[in-house]
Amino acid sequence: MNKRNLDKAFIEAVERVNAHSEPFPADTLLKLYAYYKKATNDYGKPRSRKPIINAFKTNALFQVQNITQDKAKQMYIDLVNNYFLYRK
């Protein structure tokens, strides 16, 4: 997939997640969070009021530290597509 198509597919996947009204499983949310942060080069600290949530988010970010921005976008897209394909 070329860069333009990857960026477009990533934006569409983000919009799909944002439009979804049901809760996601916690493990899926953490993966989405980490891939999104890596894909958008957002390296800010987790900002939850609960320290345990920040710890889980930090761990998720640590797990994606060695992938590229484009790989994170593709992994986010794949996770979203698989989630919606198999959630029924």
Residue-wise pLDDT tens for the chain (88 aa)? Answer: 899 999 999 999 999 999 999 999 999 999 999 999 999 998 788 888 899 999 999 999 999 999 999 999 999 999 999 999 987 5
Residue that the structure tokens 């761990």 belong to: 59
Note the Cα 59 to chain centre separation in Å. 14
pTM higher than 0.85, yes or no?
Answer: yes
In the block, which residue shows the tokens 């987790």?
46
Rounded distance, CA 6 to CA 29, Å? 21
Fold of 3-19+26-86: Acyl-CoA Binding Protein (1.20.80)
Domain boundaries, the chain: 3-19+26-86
3-state secondary structure of 57: helix
